Amino acid sequence: MDSLDMRILGRLLNNCREPDRQVGRHLGVSGGAVRARTRRMREAGIIERFALQVEPPLLGRGLFYVVVTGRDTEEVTAQARLVGEPYLVAPCVGGVTVCGIVTEDGVPRGIELARNLMKDARVLSIFEAGDPGDGTRLTRTDLAVMRELAADPRRRIDAAAGGAGLSAKTVARSMEKMQGSGAVRFTLTYDPTRMAGYIPYVVLTWAGGGAAAMAGRLEAEFGGSFMQAPFVARSQVVLFMYSDDIFKMDDMVQRVRDVPGVGSADLFIPRRITLPQKWMLDAIEDACRSPTLHLARRGAAG
């Protein structure tokens, strides 16, 4: 891989539906070059699949994250399923597993169950995700569009419209609404072990009550090393970064720690990142079967 591959990958992580020509215009290359490099990364197994990522509160679910060491990733995932459904699973270098867990029973109850189930392991951190959206409520039309795009988020609008039995204009409006909510992303999953020449890593920062403002400050200072936009929880800012040198990476983490207002910054190097879709498909089907659509957004309080 080279720096252009990384920048293309970053654009697609933030919006895999962005047209090749538009990506190329932003990066100073042709749309054909973007298309060719994207195809090459898929054939090499760097890009595993394109994915629809929905924040659970938008579908009436709660979400929290647990960071565990001393347990096999499959065991952590199995225990997560006793609490809810896995949202994100990331085994990391050093035997650490980061797991997002979707719950229907409220986040405080889910955290309590997770602590009890994982009491034999070393739980490094458990934190609530909160609700990143703007209060958007989904309609049955939105759910139909979401269901069509779940299998292939890059699907053409006219194809999704045909599958959902809607007009292309209606589908386009629904997609714009979902993306504007801040709770839906058209993204991808990638294999860090195949990214020869680059090290993707995550820095979990603790920023107290001003996480959103801190995210903007960190992006302004370190955005050139971002793989994708940061994720903001209640008091955490999660930075997705990359480096071509392990010592540069270490220096960057220290620079993040030195930013005023950052309480701490922990480094994680993922070996893999998966986004299980079962919870989302089940939530969509549950809502579609309901005689009255009522999806109250549920943040960390559950």
The token pair that represents 44 in the structure block: 């090499």
pLDDT for the residue numbered 96: 94
* Residues whose CB is less than 8 angstroms from the CB of residue 45 and which lie 6 or more positions away in sequence, other chains included: 191, 194
Q: What is the pLDDT of residue 85?
A: 96
| 181 close to 58: Cβ distance less than 8 angstroms | yes
Tokens of 177: 């609404």
Tokens 């009255």 sit at which residue? 292
At 265 the pLDDT is 93
pLDDT of residue 136: 75
CATH number for the region 55-186+272-291 comes to 3.30.70.1150
Which residue stretches of 97-195 are H helix? 107-117, 140-150, 157-164, 168-180
Q: Are 265 and 112 in contact (CB under 8 A)?
A: no
Yes or no: say if 186 and 15 are a contact pair by the CB < 8 Å rule.
Answer: yes
- Domain-wise residue ranges, the chain: 1-44, 55-186+272-291, 194-271
Q: What is the mean pLDDT of each run of 10 residues along the chain (302 residues)?
A: 95 96 97 97 97 92 92 90 95 94 91 86 84 75 94 95 95 92 92 95 86 90 93 88 96 95 93 95 88 55 39
Shared fold status for 1-44 and 55-186+272-291:
no
pLDDT at residue 135, rounded to an integer:
67
For the domain made up of 194-271, the CATH class stated in words is alpha beta
Class in CATH terms, 1-44: mainly alpha
Give the per-residue pLDDT at 302.
37
